[in-house]
Amino acid sequence: MDLFRITKKQYIRDLSGEGSRRFGGRWNEQGTAMLYASQNESLAALEILAHTPISEIPNDLSLLVLSIPSSIALKSVDPNELPDNWMDYPSPHELARIGSRWVQSGASLMLQVPSALVRTDWNVLINPAHPQMDKVKIKEVFNFQFDSRIPE
């Protein structure tokens, strides 16, 4: 399975989840390290656009393609079991508790979660403290830039 991340070049090879640990996120509480990835490049790009004003998007972005063996189980969150307001921004704290508990349980390397931006797409959370983390490999790194047709 290939997963995709877009971030600043200086952090592109950092798979520690340090950024999410320091700041928290939709699916993790501050203090819980987690790596956020998307199942396709377009969703990874949309995540950047949703969280950063276009005028503030850095011009030093890279796209990371992670390769994970298909033999590693992908646990999934059922959207029907989430609170009705799970897609809201800011997100309900219950989502961060779900993700943080999952990391702390060590139940799996990856947790597939529904995208709040595109109902039919999925993001994948990676637990950097999981024993199978050594199976996560950097497949490719590309320079990434948004098309100039995206208005500021």
pLDDT tens digits for 36-83?
Answer: 999 999 999 999 999 999 889 999 999 999 999 999 999 999 999 999
Q: What is the DSSP string of 99-151?
A: HHHHHHHT--SEEEEE-SS-TT-EEEEE-TTSGGGGG-EEEEEEEE---TTS-
pLDDT tens track for 1-27? 999 999 999 999 999 999 999 999 999
What mean pLDDT is predicted for residues 84-98?
Answer: 97
Reported as a pLDDT band with limits 50, 70 and 90, residue 148 is confident
- Whether 19 is in a domain gets the answer yes
Q: Which domain holds residue 12?
A: 2-144
- The reported pLDDT for the residue numbered 109 is 98
Q: What is the mean pLDDT of the chain?
A: 96
Query: Model-level pTM?
Result: 0.96
pLDDT for 150 beyond 90: no
Domain assignment present for residue 42? The answer is: yes
Q: Is residue 149 part of a domain?
A: no
Residue 151 inside a domain? The answer is no
The one-letter amino acid code at 63 reads L
In a domain, 152, yes or no: no
Q: Is the peptide bond before 151 cis (omega within 30 degrees of 0)?
A: no
39 within a domain of the structure (yes/no): yes
Is 44 among the domain residues? yes
| Residue 33 belongs to some domain of the structure | yes
Q: What percent of the chain has pLDDT over 90?
A: 93
CB 120: neighbour CB atoms within 10 A?
A: 7
AA letter at 137:
K
> How many domains does the chain fold into?
1
